[in-house]
Every structure is written in structure tokens, then in C-alpha cells.
Amino acid sequence: MKEILFPYGKTKKSHLFDERELAGLLTSSIEDYVPTEEGDTLIEQALANPVGSPPLCELAKGKNNIVIIASDHTRPVPSRLIIPPMLREVRKGNPDAKITILIATGCHRGTTKDELVAKFGAEIVAHEHIVIHDCDERENLVNIGTLPSGGACEINRLAIDADLLISEGFIEPHFFAGYSGGRKSVLPGVAGRSTVLANHCSEFIADEHARTGILEGNPIHRDMVWAAKQANLKFIVNVVLNAEKEVIFATAGDPFAAHGAGTEFLSSLCGVDAVDADIVITTNGGYPLDQNMYQAVKGMTAAEATVRSGGVIIMLAASGDGIGGDHFYHQLADEPDIDKTMRIFLSRDRGQTVPDQWQTQILLRILQHAHVVYVSEMPDDTVRSMHMHPAHSIDGALKLAKQLLGKEQVRIAAIPDGVSVIVKAKKEG
């Protein structure tokens, strides 16, 4: 028997597997990587040795209006480690600079004060000027041009008016942007809703290059890079985290060169080969990424890449924050025919994208490929309305999965952290 632990909310769920059933344990080598220093030291070292850029303190000289784009409550970015040294560097270059921390919510709900304190610490929340981006506040958006996709690029006025625009974040495999971090601070981070909708159109989501770990040829990534350049993002500090949300790598400097250094490091550790499996158990890496069903779609895509057609994905996501979006809910719950909904989405051009369509489209794609058993704290009826099967334990989920397959003898793959791996298709021959 083999015990495997799966992150779930702020805890873990464990299960003893019969090794004869276990087709594979898909984990990235991140968990085996031993960093050279503690996380705060790695961040300080990255700031002291920026990639493709002068030091931040040099960039800050003569810049009076400085904006730091910071991640929101849905991201496990250790902002309390990153922001203080960034502030010190800025003030080293210009002690009198006006600094604004702009929270990159994208199209998410606003971050609460308690969530800000949890991310930054009470001192920063009490003493720094923090503004939460709202993608629907038209008066606070500026049109800076036309995206390669053809959509208008509208960005938060604070970012555009900055004398120096910088950002923090973290890099992980991303299920349609290839990787998170870097340019994503601008788009979707501080973009207007219509800009995000154009970038997340059904055509791009369906593109075979809009997948985990792929940047080259990815139309969504191309838009994001254009927006970051047009907004004049000058400097980033990004980190890579392990499953315990500890910093194991940090990169700083030019937004594209530094991000490239981070994705190169990550890609060397995250790639895993797909296995043949009837059932795949996956997660969203626990809190904060498994706060709602909307975010949990990310972890499902890792399982999608390795489960056989007609198989079962068991998704573990505590979902204490519920569904995560009214549009997402109604797009699935209001129409019993998922094939019909997918046809409607694919018929829309880039300018007709509606909110949350991209997330629904990806979940529909997964549901067309496999059954999904959703292990969470959510009401069973709500999960069923989203075309998934509810469960509240791994044992219960496995029992249900075997019923759905109509057999007891199965091959099971385990992915303890579905957002930390890049599952690669097995090569023929």
C-alpha cells in the first residue's frame, strides 16, 4: 500500500492506494529541489542581480509616481516577503516617491481588508497606499491601443499614469496562458473587462497552443506581452513556489527577460509524462487556489491530459468560497446540454465573448472527455447543477468513480498538485 497526501483547503486529505491499481504518481521535481537560500534571501539576491535591467533603485531615481502591481487574494504569492524589499529599493532610489500598490484582481471580486492583511501584513496595509483594481470602473480605464487579437486594450489609469510601473507575482504552469507571472500582471491583472474578454475569446481558448507550458504560438500570451509592453511595465519580481508555498526561486528585472528565466527554471522541473489511467485524482494545490470551483478548473486540466476518454477525474477542491462567479454558474447550470453550450461558445467571434466564458469552455471540454467527481464542502445539488458528481471524501469519490465506469478493476493516477505539473502526451512508438 502507498499513502499519498493531497492538498485540500488549508489541510490535506490522505489515501492508501493498492499499488497494483496505481498507474502513476505525477509530481513535478519542484518537491525534490533544494533551494540555495531561504525565500527572503532569494528575493533579495534577485533584486541585487536583476536580469536585463538596471537595479530597481536606479530605475526609481527621478520617478515621483510609482505603481507596484500586486497579486490578489486568489494567488498564493508571498507578498509579505516580496513587497517590503521592493519598497526599500524604490525608496532607496527616491525617498520621496509617491507609491501606490495596485491590486491586480483581473475580473475577480475585490480583495477584502482581511485578505490584504493576510497577504501583506498589517503594517503595509496600515501605512501604504493600496488601491484595488475594478475591471468595470470605466472612468478609471485608459485605452492604450488595439491588441493583436483586435480587442481594445483598456488598462487601469493608475498603471498608465505611473512614472514607473513595476509588479510582483509568481510563476506556475497556466492552463491557457502557458505560464502565470510577468506580463499577466497587466493583462488580465489591471485590464478592463472588455479587454480580458477579447483576449479570452473562444477561438484562442480552443487553440492547441493555448495550453499548459506553451508560450510559442500562444495567441493569449501574445496579447499579454503586447499589453505589458504598451503599458510600459519596466521591472518585475517573480517567484516560484513549492507545494508548501515556500519560495524556491526568485527572478527580478526586465519583465520579459526575468520572466523567461523563471519559466525556463520551472519548465525544467514541472514536466511529467502522461500515463494510461481510468481514474485520475487531482487538486488545485490547496488554499488559496482551491477557494472556489471556478479556479478548480485549472487543476482539472492536468488530469484531462492523462485520463482516458470516458474515464473519471476526481477533483479535490474545498471551495469554501463557493462557485466563484455567477456567469460561470449560469452558463453551466441553466443548460442541460453541454454540447449545445460548447457550440454556442465556438460560434462567437472575438468581440462577442461574455464573462467567464473561457473557464466554462475549458470545463465543458473536460466534461466532454471524462466524468468529473467533485470533492468539496459545497452542497451536492450545486455540484450536480454544474454537470459534475458530488463527493466529500476520496473513498466516496473512488467508489462513485468505479460505479460510473462500471468496473472494480481500474488504473488510478494521482496528481497531488494539478497546477504545478505540465503533463506531456506520451510519444508514439
Question: Which residues are part of the catalytic machinery?
Answer: 108, 174
Cα separation, 374 vs 4, in Å, equals: 18
What single-letter amino acid sits at 169?
G
Contact yes or no for 249/262 (Cβ under 8 A): yes
Cα separation, 333 vs 337, in Å, equals: 10
HEC profile of the chain: CEEEEEEECCEEEEEEECCCCEEEECCCHHHHCCCCCCHHHHHHHHHHCCECCCCHHHHHCCCCEEEEEEECCCCCCCHHHHHHHHHHHHHHHCCCCEEEEEEECCCCCCCCHHHHHHHHCHHHHHHCEEEECCCCCHHHEEEEEECCCCCEEEEEHHHHHCCEEEEEEECCEECCCEECCHHHHCCCCCECHHHHHHHCCHHHHHCCCCCCCCCCCCHHHHHHHHHHHHCCEEEEEEEEECCCCCEEEEEEECHHHHHHHHHHHHHHHHEEECCCEEEEEEECCCCCCCCCHHHHHHHHHHHHCCEEEEEEEEEECCCCCCCCCHHHHHHHHCCCCHHHHHHHHHHCCHHHCCCCHHHHHHHHHHHHHCEEEEECCCCHHHHHHCCCEEECCHHHHHHHHHHHHCCCCCCEEEECCCCCCEEECCCCC
